[in-house]
Amino acid sequence: MKALVLEEAHRLTLRDIELPLSVGPRDVKIKIHTVGVCGSDVHYYQHGRIGPFKVEEPMVLGHEASGTVVEVGTDVTHLRVGDRVCMEPGIPQLDSPATMRGLYNLDPAVRFWATPPIHGCLTPFVVHPAAFTFKLPDNVSFAEGAIVEPLSIGLQAAKKAAMKPGDVAVVIGAGTIGAMTALAALAGGASRVILADVVKDKLALFASNPAVTTVAVREQSLVDVVRQVTDGWGADVVFEASGSTRAFDNLLDLVCPGGCAVLVGMPPEPVALDVVSMQAKEVRFESVFRYANIFPRALALISSGMIDVKPFISRKFSFSEGLKAFEEAAAARPQDVKIQIEMD
């Protein structure tokens, strides 16, 4: 079966590979339709590793996916052949302490698509647990279904923030995760989102949204804008979604007393934090690692029209053009937010 295989850093091939496709009683077999190219996929392609996760043998990429059920296991009752679905890519051990506490995303033994040594889903067919496979509402497209995964990170962040109706939120970073976090903050009750980035093209996607104030940080001071919008009080919630170490230089200046800072992006190295300034404001810190029990909420928000992800799907490539799709994603063109691959 053909797959888009990362052989090693900088070497990606579209070739045949033997993958397990045996359908267990609680599994479904899915014909893949659309797969998003994630920043982690690109990072593995460029560097061959992310932190302790190193590509030591060929690995199929891709973990943001949608498709159609073509076979169901004997114990599966909520899905049928022909159902359009999206798939949650991380499978925990169902009896682990983390899972039993409802924190299955924190299970150290979680098997996550396209995280070494687990193969991803950039291949025509996959077999996946039915419990982590979700039927798409009729008005949700395959492309929208494939962006549910990054949207779920934004929704997890909004959930961890414990947002209240009318909150003012700051989102630092307007890439895929930052954009999805801004949408999630609005859906979570924010009266205004102040969205900051160095790339104007990404901010432009929010130009028609009256509840979003965009800040091009090379031209404006984010701290000054937050002070102006909040009459000097500060934002109720600040989401750091850029992963830039420099974002922490004035992070605490953005948060109001008693406010919350949510760490979504992952800095490449340790950062300094002014603990006394944090204590003086009693700032609450939260962190996000993927998501848990969020996919159904994401689908409901897209289906209802509360969240519109379509403007953030930048370009599509065919499966046969998969190498080009990754080259384009690695080029990090300013106008691109989410590149997707559609199976031929």
pLDDT of residue 56: 94
Written in H, E and C, the secondary structure of 92-132 is CCCCCHHHHCCCHHHCCCCEECCCCCCCCCCCCEEEEEHHH
Q: Using an 8 Å Cβ cutoff, are 158 and 39 in contact?
A: no
Q: How many CA atoms lie within 13 A of 67 on its CB side?
A: 30
pLDDT on residue 51 = 82
> SS3 of 33, please?
strand
Q: Under a CB-based contact definition with an 8 Å cutoff, are residues 288 and 264 in contact?
A: yes
Taking Cα atoms as reference points, which of 6, 23, 28 lies closest to residue 15? 6
Predicted pLDDT at 344: 81
What pTM, to 2 d.p., does this model score?
0.96
* Weakly modelled stretches of the chain, pLDDT under 70: none
